[in-house]
Amino acid sequence: MYQINLNNPCKAYFIGIGGISMSGFAELLHDNGFDVCGSDIKESKITRHLSSSGIHIIYGQSASNITSDIGFIVYTAAIHPDNPEFIAAKKLGIPMMERAEMVGQVMKNYPNAIAVAGTHGKTTTTSMLSHIYLSAHKDPTISVGGILAVINGNIRIGHSENFITEACEYTNSFLKFHPTAGIILNIDADHLDFFKDIDDIRLSFRKFAELLPENGILVINSITTNISYIIDNLKCKVVTFGISNTSGYSASNISYDENGYGSFDIVINGNNTGRHIKLNVIGEHNINNALAAIALADYYNIPEEAISEGLAEFKGTERRFEIKGSFNGVTVVDDYAHHPAEIKATLDASLKFPHNHLWCVFQPHTYSRTRELLEEFADVLSLAENVILADIYAARETDPGDISSLTLKQAIEKKGKKVYYFPSFQEIEDFLSEHCINGDLLITMGAGDVVNIGEDLVNK
């Protein structure tokens, strides 16, 4: 098995180099002295940036791009065995690896490799940890699944032993990682187009926990269902976190300011430490995320002042309760929530945000998720004051013909809730322009392109 060694650079080729994660790791290898080149279908802002950094980009993919001097090849999950570059690499016997395996191999080069896993909250908690490490001047290498303002992107190339990354369970990607420390924020039913059921998902998280070495640590949410299944007989240290005072790390004296931003005292094993944390992000779910980050930072002896300062400076990431602006006195927020648990957390948080009436525009993400979690979606969306549905965002799927936003609308109506559906964004925007009034809060919600609705209204 080929192993990437940052101290022994060679020529690396990326098939599909323009992807947000692929491009970031291409930069990381280039910064470490690798001769990096790669191909993509078309030019983009990302590929232009890579070119300006000295990375050779080829537009279009053909067998002639693959030469025998290439040390290894990285490809995305979107690249299939019939790809001409894939075929040529196989013929030449060049070591090949999928993106997740490449990330795992890079992690092996860092003595402190932190992986943040969980069905929800990965991007936010990874970002919180990143702020903490930056405040402590630990010069971390960072890979985050959203745009983080403090690093002006989704990746930061550090020159220390510290590596911080998200760890996604989809297609068991995180089982290819090599963490020395891990966080499990939560385990819920999701990605049921890949996993058979919740037990299959829990098995995957158990295998992730087993990756951690004897001198490592797992930080896990104390309310994880049947937590013993995940943590029993692990080699590593285990620390729990959560709002409940039965957690290893918990919170007391919780309060929220006029913006819904939380503050709390840190409680460790039932003892109030006197350490006070002030957040600049909204909701109880972010107190939970902060507790996970604090527990991990404490394990690595990050100074208390850096933890407090880093969390205070973190003001959220793109598409996580992101305030986009306003129109006619209506505040517009966008949120990536696309799972019932995430929707509930966002709606709960919105109650702490100043507003008169709440309008929620939800765009379901993938047909399989909508079908499998239909009743759960109907339950949580019924909690919103006003609900407007957009069409399902297909993402990687094709329309099976047996599920639609109208199906979800009917499920919500069965719960006695009035709900609106419009087949086009323009109709939704026209409806909101007519019905939202000064002092209202509008949240566009989903992992697709629903963000465009709020941005259009703000920019009119």
Angle between helices 451-459 and 425-435 (to 10 degrees): 50
Angle between helices 374-381 and 405-413 (to 10 degrees): 60
Catalytic choice (122, 176, 324, 409) = 122
**Does residue 236 contact residue 212 with C-beta atoms inside 8 Å?**
yes
| DSSP-derived pairing of the beta strands 141-148 and 153-156 | antiparallel
d(CA 341, CA 358): 19
Please give the C-alpha separations between residue 298 and each of 34, 61, 149, 307, 340, in angstroms, as whole numbers.
Answer: 35, 47, 24, 9, 32
Active site residue 315: no
Catalytic choice (27, 166, 284, 429) = 166
Active site residue 324: no
Classify residue 439 by its DSSP letter.
T
Catalytic choice (47, 119, 123, 331) = 123
Q: Which of 301, 285, 264 is nearest to 221 (CA)?
A: 285
φ, ψ dihedrals at 443, nearest 5°: -115, 120
Active site residue 166: yes
DSSP 303-352: -HHHHHHHHHH----TTSSEEEEEETTEEEEEE---SHHHHHHHHHHHTT
Q: SS3 of 5, please?
A: coil
User: 38 CB contacts (<8 Å, ≥6 apart)?
Assistant: 13, 14, 15, 16, 17, 22, 26, 50, 55, 56, 57, 58
Q: How many CA atoms lie within 13 A of 56 on its CB side?
A: 8
Q: SS3 of 285, please?
A: helix
Q: SS3 of 52, please?
A: helix
Catalytic residue list:
122-123, 166
